[in-house]
Amino acid sequence: MTRIFIPSSLGGHMHTRRQFLAASTAAITAFSTTSAYAAGPLSVVATTGMIADAVRRIGGDAVTVKALMGPGVDPHAYRQTRSDIAAMARADLVLWHGLYLEAQMEDFFGDLGRKRMVVPVAEGLPKDQLLGHDDYENRFDPHVWMDPSMWIGVVQAVGEALGEARPDLAGTFSANANGYMEELEMLAAYGTETLALVPAEKRVLLSAHDAFGYFGRAYGFEVIGIQGISTESEAGLNRISALVDMLVTRKLPAAFVETSVSDRNIRALIEGAAAQGHTVKIGGELYSDAMGPDGSYEGTYIGMIDHNVTTIAGALEATVDPGGMSGKLGLES
């Protein structure tokens, strides 16, 4: 898995791949002696809860991790605070997603990369496996965590970054990462088996913003987001009206709200469909850009995806166990 470190000299300018890789190699060499054998646990800051969860699973007691974006936080609109900046400046390792998810922080990461080990863990995913971005040419949809098979590649990158930061524990981190990736393979299989129970004509996922593209590709669903890939894009009245007509014509039973996005547009759709004599229910609340509450099963990556899969299948007329893959949904971890 390619490691990418971004020094500030690259921020905001176009460079050749050779220049980029040369600068990255220099940065890796500089970082290798800074915190590899730091006393005590490795201090890690991760931008998203999903990345932080992978750090916990792989690093165990050998790491401490702080997630900047907690439950219910929209990463598209997130702005770092002074305390966040201080935490990243003190950390041994900073992990961010990349793929333009934290676009508003990229310049900061470029500057920080001169002093700290800074890794965008999704940037090394094969580009031929990524979906295009609706709003930006030559950019990609960053929501790769919606497909556990794609997320495996990010978990591998997290394990490699931890191993580079602490070479003395690289073997332990690698073994832990491999065990976690096996669990993710089981999660992907659960998704395939469960969502196949949804009648073919009902396999339409309508949600607040277009975060479920990788989910749709993995499980054979048509995915419709009222807003675009970023929650900062706006849905106009024409868009709402067209979606209401689609709901009524196709007699779709459910639309879904998201924990990190306002439900205003979804409720407008439901009211519009009702005015035309068609009842659309809220199929449930999905975790799109953030995981569930801290301390809950849904507050883990596996619990988040288990919840989404089980909720979607159940709302779209499949018979499912409400406890999910292993009966843990709704339980504290």
Which tens digits make up the pLDDT trace of 212-233? 999 999 999 999 888 654 444 4
Contact predicate 290/49, CB 8 Å: yes
> pLDDT-derived band of residue 181, with 50, 70 and 90 as boundaries?
very high
pLDDT (average), residues 45-69: 97
pLDDT of residue 236: 58
How do residues 260-315 score in pLDDT, each as one tens digit? 677 888 888 889 999 999 998 999 999 998 999 999 999 999 999 999 999 999 99
Does the pLDDT at position 107 exceed 70?
yes
Distance CA 326, CA 306 (A): 9
pLDDT (average), residues 149-164: 98
Is the whole-model pTM more than 0.95?
no
Does the pLDDT at position 203 exceed 70?
yes
pLDDT of residue 302: 98
pLDDT of residue 207: 86
DSSP β-ladder status, 281-286 and 254-258: parallel
From residue 300, give the alpha-carbon distance in Å to each of 20, 65, 155, 331. Answer: 34, 14, 14, 12
Contact predicate 84/104, CB 8 Å: no
Does the pLDDT at position 209 exceed 80?
no
Contact predicate 93/35, CB 8 Å: yes
pLDDT (average), residues 92-118: 95
Q: Is 173 helix (H, G, I), strand (E, B) or coil?
A: helix
Distance CA 68, CA 81 (A): 9
pLDDT of residue 9: 30
Residue in the block written with tokens 């024409």: 238
Tokens of residue 8, six digits: 């500030």
Chain centroid, CA 126 distance in Å: 16
Distance CA 41, CA 38 (A): 8
Does the pLDDT at position 19 exceed 50?
no
Show the CA angle centred on residue 158, arms to residues 156 and 159, nearest 5°: 65
Radius of gyration of the chain, Cα coordinates, nearest whole angstrom: 20
Distance CA 91, CA 206 (A): 39
Contact predicate 46/96, CB 8 Å: yes
Q: What residues have CB less than 8 Å from 3, skipping those under 6 apart?
A: 24, 28, 119, 124, 157, 160, 161, 164
SS3 for 22-47, per residue? HHHHHHHHHHCCCCCCCCCCEEEEEE
Give the whole-number percent of the chain exceeding pLDDT 90. Answer: 63
pLDDT (average), residues 7-11: 31
Give the whole-number percent of the chain exceeding pLDDT 70. Answer: 83
Distance CA 3, CA 93 (A): 13
Contact predicate 80/101, CB 8 Å: no
Tokens of residue 327, six digits: 């009966």
pLDDT of residue 25: 33
Closest CA to 205 of 225, 189, 190, 191: 225
Greater model confidence, 122 or 33: 122
pLDDT of residue 57: 98
Mean pLDDT of the chain: 85
Closest CA to 38 of 198, 165, 162, 223: 165
Does the pLDDT at position 11 exceed 80?
no
pLDDT (average), residues 85-112: 95
206 phi, psi to nearest 5 deg: -110, 120
pLDDT of residue 260: 66
Of 2-16, 52-66, 99-113, the poorest mean pLDDT is in: 2-16
pLDDT (average), residues 115-119: 96
- Count of residues making up the chain: 333
Tokens of residue 263, six digits: 């439900």
32-46, 60-74, 89-103: which has the highest mean pLDDT? 89-103
Contact predicate 290/327, CB 8 Å: no
Does the pLDDT at position 333 exceed 70?
no
